[in-house]
Structures are given as C-alpha cells and as structure tokens.
Amino acid sequence: MRYDFDQEINRYNTASLKWDDVERQFGEKDLIPLWVADMDFMSCMPVIEALKKTMEHGIFGYPIQTEAYREAVVNWMKKRFQWEIRPEWLHYSPGVVAALSFLVQAFTQPGDKVLIQSPVYYPFSKAVTDNGRQLLHNPLKHEGERYEMDFDDLRQKIALGAKMLILCSPHNPVGRVWTKEELTELGEICIANNVLVIADEIHADLLYPGYKHTPFAAISEEFAQNCVVCTAASKTFNLAGLQNANIIIPNTILGKMFRAVMDAPHLVRTNIFGAVATEAAYRHGEEWLEQILVYLHQNLQFLTHYIANNIKQLKVVQPEGTYLVWIDCSALGMNSKELEQFMRKQAKVAIDDGYIFGPGGEGFIRINIACTRKTLAAGLRRLENAVNGKK
Ligand SMILES: Cc1ncc(COP(=O)(O)O)c(C=O)c1O
C-alpha cells in the first residue's frame, strides 16, 4: 500500500514527550517540536493490525518471547544486513538506553573507565557516570565535511586503562554510517587491548541512498565474541513507546552475565505489545520502511536547500543515516547558553542543543526531520526569521 507521510496527525494530548512536554522541558510556549528522536508518522499498517488483534483479545497476562518472534528478528538481520544471528543470542531489554546501563553494570566494575566517541547521544555518558564508572572521551574529528574517528587518540585513551567502549553506529548526532574499514580498525584496537565493544545500532535501518550499515559483530568471529550489539525496531518503525529492544550477544559467557544482571530486577520478560509490534514490523514492515526512507531523504534535501539558500550562516553536516541532522551554528557567534536561549526565545523551535552531546557539541544543534514537510518548513521559516533578525 501507499502511505501518505504528508498527512498531519495531531499529537497534542496523546502523552507525547515530543509534543506535550515541550513547555515543561524548554520553558517556553508554542515551540515547534523538532527534538527527541521519534517520528510524527503512524507506524506501518501490519504493526497497527497486529496490535489491534492483541488488544481485542483483551487478556494481557505475562508473555513469553516466542520462537516466531526470534525468527522474525533473525530473518530481518539476515535480509537487511546479511548478518546471520542465532535465536539464542537474543536478549530482551525494555529499551536500548536501559540496556546500556545494565551492560555497564554487567561488564565493568565501579571506577572502571569507559570510552565514548563524543559528541554522542547524551545517555551514553549517563550510563557510565550514573553507574559510578569513569568516562573517557575519544572525540570524533571534524575535518572538512564529515566526522572521522581518531584512532591515535583512541590508542592513547585505551592506554589509560579503558575496559569498554560504547560505539554509536550509525552515529547520533553526527550522522555517520561507519564503513567496514573504520569499524575494523576500531575493533582490532579494542581486541588487542581487551576493551569490550558495546555497539548501539538502533539507527541501522535508517540509511540514505548509497550507504550500507555493517553490523559490528558481523565483521569476524573474533569481533562477535568481543561485542554486544544493541538493536530495536523502535526508531525504524516509530515504536519507542512500546519499550522493546533486542540485545544481541554472540558470546555465551557474556550472554549469561548480562542475563544475570537483568534477572535481578526481573527484566527478562518481554512486553506483549512491544513484542507483537516488533515481530509484525520485521515480518511485514519492509514496504513501509522503503517509503519512509524516500520521504526522509526528501526532507533532508528540503532542509539542506532551504538552509543553503535562506540561512547561509548555518552549515548542515550531511548525515549518511538517521533522521537527525547536525547543524553547525558557530557562525552565529553565540556561546552554548546564548544559542540555547536564541532557539527557544527568538526562533521558537524545540531542538536538541549541541552541547548536551558532550565535548565538540558546542555551537551545534540537532534537528529531527522525521516530521511532515509542513512542520519542517514551519520550523525552518522560524529559524530563518530569527537568524535574519525578522519577526
Ligand atoms: C543511539 C541511540 N540509542 C538509543 C536510543 C533510545 O533507545 P531506547 O528508546 O530503546 O531506549 C536512541 C534514541 O534516540 C538513540 O539515538
């Protein structure tokens, strides 16, 4: 079927973080929400139909993770990424962020050092510091147009005694889809130094034309044994509120250790709606995904042209994947707090301020383009008027 992503759906009064919590989060009324990473689009029909069926059954007792569910995940990874996983590698988590925290608990000790590649999705640093571990930054290099990993810096930081690296692949917010060569170099350095890699691959399905995602664990058996891959259907199919993630652990011993940590708070059981939606999406959602990828690409082109033509002070870092766009606002000459206030009070847009993503994020903003073109255009118009001093 043909989906219409231009259809405006009112999200106010739906308990939506992105829409209903803006005033509380940003301290201003009537901002256009272009922040937190969910989509303003309905999920695909197979998901909605499957959820309806479960809902109409009317019994919501304790579920199990079925073989059919695991088969759907296995088949998706094989079809989309030519990655052969085994059903027993799959572990449930109520979300990827929750899993990151539990993974830190499972595989490091209090005081241990954990690496992240800043600027990066801000819950990474919290997963480390809130669990009493020490954060080490391996900042990305921003040279010319795109961001690169800094392997010399990585070696130096690892020499300080890092035990774990949390990798964002594809990377939020800078939009890189890491190449197999880059991931291989990173992985070899980590293996040589006994650093476990936690690969957050939640954005893996959201790629722009010409880019290919390489699952970290698919690179080699050695890599598979030294990593945990965190995935979910939630970004891809707009299911974040259903809290279901798949934590893929090929190493049996690591799998047991993770399971032990999840057992304590009784988080080994799935959520019935999250499981039903994920299975339906992975079995029948590909047609929708192909269409949303086209719409997101058009939104990206629209934003790129709009900014190039009308807001010349801003510079778009072209993403290779994700529906999050990282924009350099340093030419506005504001410090982080001034830029934050400018976006809220002058531009009246709710965006994610770059500095929250850690070192290297100052002077940037992150815009979520998974919205209708009308909403995106309205947000960009406000930005243009504010930057160009118009009201
Ligand atoms: C890299 C990354 N990991 C995890 C999440 C959130 O995952 P979850 O909702 O499963 O906790 C996001 C959401 O934006 C993300 O960008």
Which residues surround ligand 1 with Cβ inside 6 Å? Answer: 37, 95-97, 121, 168, 172, 200, 202, 232, 234, 240, 245
What is the pLDDT, as a whole number, of residue 269?
Answer: 83
Asked if the structure places residue 11 within a domain, the reply is no
What is the pLDDT, as a whole number, of residue 145?
Answer: 85
Per-residue pLDDT of the chain (391 residues; tens, 9 = 90+): 999 999 999 999 999 999 999 999 999 999 999 999 999 999 999 999 999 999 999 999 999 999 999 999 999 999 999 999 999 999 999 999 999 999 999 999 999 999 999 999 999 999 999 999 999 999 999 987 899 999 999 999 999 999 999 999 999 999 999 999 999 999 999 999 999 999 999 999 999 999 999 999 999 999 999 999 999 999 999 999 999 999 999 999 999 999 999 999 988 888 999 999 999 999 999 999 999 999 999 999 999 999 999 999 999 999 999 999 999 999 999 999 999 999 999 999 999 999 999 999 999 999 999 999 999 999 999 999 999 996 5
Domain that holds residue 325: 17-44+287-386
Q: What is the CATH number of the domain that holds 29?
A: 3.90.1150.10
Are residue 202 and residue 346 in the same domain, yes or no?
no
Are residue 100 and residue 24 in the same domain, yes or no?
no
Are residue 146 and residue 157 in the same domain, yes or no?
yes
Distance 385 CA to ligand 1 centre (A): 32
Are residue 244 and residue 330 in the same domain, yes or no?
no
Asked if the structure places residue 5 within a domain, the reply is no
Are residue 143 and residue 246 in the same domain, yes or no?
yes
Are residue 246 and residue 120 in the same domain, yes or no?
yes
Residue closest via CA to ligand 1's atom 7 equals: 96
Strands 227-231, 196-200: pairing is parallel
Asked if the structure places residue 255 within a domain, the reply is yes
C-beta separation of 317 from 363 below 8 A = no
Q: Ligand 1: which of 97, 177, 237 to mutate, judged by most atoms within 8 Å of the beta carbon? A: 97
Asked if the structure places residue 7 within a domain, the reply is no
Residue 219 DSSP one-character state = S
Domain boundary among 251, 284, 317: 284
Pick the closest to residue 159 from 139, 185, 136 (CA basis). 136
Residue closest via CA to ligand 1's atom 14 equals: 37
CA gap 266, 237 in Å, rounded: 27
Distance 16 CA to ligand 1 centre (A): 16
CA gap 152, 138 in Å, rounded: 9
Q: Ligand 1: which of 229, 235, 267 to mutate, judged by most atoms within 8 Å of the beta carbon? A: 235
Distance 96 CA to ligand 1 centre (A): 6
**CA 171 to ligand 1: nearest atom:** 1
CA gap 120, 359 in Å, rounded: 9
Asked if the structure places residue 52 within a domain, the reply is yes
Are residue 103 and residue 233 in the same domain, yes or no?
yes
Q: How many CB atoms lie within 10 A of CB 217?
A: 26
Asked if the structure places residue 125 within a domain, the reply is yes
Domain boundary among 260, 284, 308: 284
**CA 168 to ligand 1: nearest atom:** 1
Are residue 64 and residue 145 in the same domain, yes or no?
yes
Are residue 200 and residue 254 in the same domain, yes or no?
yes
Are residue 51 and residue 38 in the same domain, yes or no?
no
H/E element holding 15? none
Number of domains making up the chain: 2
Instruction: Report CA Rg, the chain.
Output: 21
Asked if the structure places residue 6 within a domain, the reply is no
Asked if the structure places residue 346 within a domain, the reply is yes
Q: What is the DSSP string of 26-42?
A: HS-SS-EE--SS--SS-
Q: What is the DSSP string of 66-135?
A: -HHHHHHHHHHHHHHH-----GGGEEEES-HHHHHHHHHHHH--TT-EEEE-SS--THHHHHHHTTTPEE
Distance 389 CA to ligand 1 centre (A): 35
CA gap 65, 226 in Å, rounded: 25
Q: Ligand 1: which of 38, 91, 96, 352 to mutate, judged by most atoms within 8 Å of the beta carbon? A: 96
Distance 57 CA to ligand 1 centre (A): 30
Pick the closest to residue 227 from 73, 383, 66, 85 (CA basis). 85
Distance 97 CA to ligand 1 centre (A): 6
CA gap 387, 240 in Å, rounded: 33
Output the six-digit token pair for 177: 């889809």
Domain boundary among 238, 259, 284: 284
Distance 35 CA to ligand 1 centre (A): 13
Residue closest via CA to ligand 1's atom 13 equals: 37
Distance 235 CA to ligand 1 centre (A): 8
Are residue 72 and residue 202 in the same domain, yes or no?
yes
Q: What is the CATH number of the domain that holds 231?
A: 3.40.640.10
What is the pLDDT, as a whole number, of residue 268?
Answer: 82
Are residue 249 and residue 312 in the same domain, yes or no?
no
